Chain A
Amino acid sequence: GESVGLHLPTLSVQEGDNSIINCAYSNSASDYFIWYKQESGKGPQFIIDIRSNMDKRQGQRVTVLLNKTVKHLSLQIAATQPGDSAVYFCAEKPPNTGNQFYFGTGTSLTVIP
């Protein structure tokens, strides 16, 4: 399978600050990327996605940036809240794989009140 890695396994931020979670993906041909949030004891929850024909996409308090040149994906969370504490995964979809997603190890985000 593909290898999707995250630069930092843990991240602690102060409540109200912005968070940036980074991800390096392995397949330069991957055409679809998703960020998932996983809280303890729950399944991954979709946050935001981006296709390879875009380099930025914004949602509510979240922004995903895609840099295809260096195969890098980032998730920015604005005004981080205690409820944002979770493990965040990026997933990539290589082409011609029948919509299969490959996940990295994850980054654990802790928000300090």
Chain B
Amino acid sequence: EAGVAQSPRYKIIEKRQSVAFWCNPISGHATLYWYQQILGQGPKLLIQFQNNGVVDDSQLPKDRFSAERLKGVDSTLKIQPAKLEDSAVYLCASSLVGQKAFFGQGTRLTVV
């Protein structure tokens, strides 16, 4: 079974630039999550989708972060404009409803 796919694996941008991350969840998984993991910390939930609807985005900095899952499958997370403190690994995960989440390898973002 294919896992959660994310791209790119690494990205380096200058502050105030924009960046986008892409995620393809496990086939059939209705729930999709984006997490931010700062070095030395546990993952922090940014947004959760159920199919193409947002379940919770209370921890998403909406002034600069946006995410969408238009067709209920793939998702993109965008940051515009990026700040230095956005440097982190961005993890996408997916799950069946009410079940454990499976994670992708993440995108390591460095903002300089």
Contacts and interface: CB of A to CB of B under 8 A. Distances in A.
Interface of A: 1, 4, 34, 36, 41-46, 49, 89, 91, 97-106
12 contacts: A34-B100, A42-B106, A43-B105, A44-B43, A46-B100, A46-B101, A49-B100, A100-B56, A104-B42, A105-B41, A106-B41, A106-B42
B93 to A, nearest CB: 8
A22 B4 CA distance: 28
B12 interface: no
Contact of A43 (B91, B98, B99): B91
Given A34-B100, A89-B43, A98-B48, 9 more contacts: A43-B93, A43-B104, A44-B93, A97-B56, A98-B56, A100-B33, A100-B55, A101-B45, A101-B101
B31 interface: yes
Contact of A1 (B33, B50, B59, B104): B59
B102 interface: yes
A1 to B, nearest CB: 7
Nearest to B99: A99
B31 A43 contact: no
B40 to A, nearest CB: 8
Contacts of A99: 31, 48, 55, 95, 97-99
Nearest to B3: A43
Contact of A89 (B33, B42, B106): B42
Contact of B43 (A41, A98, A103): A103
A94 B95 CA distance: 17
A102 B45 contact: yes
A98 B50 contact: yes
Contacts of B50: 98
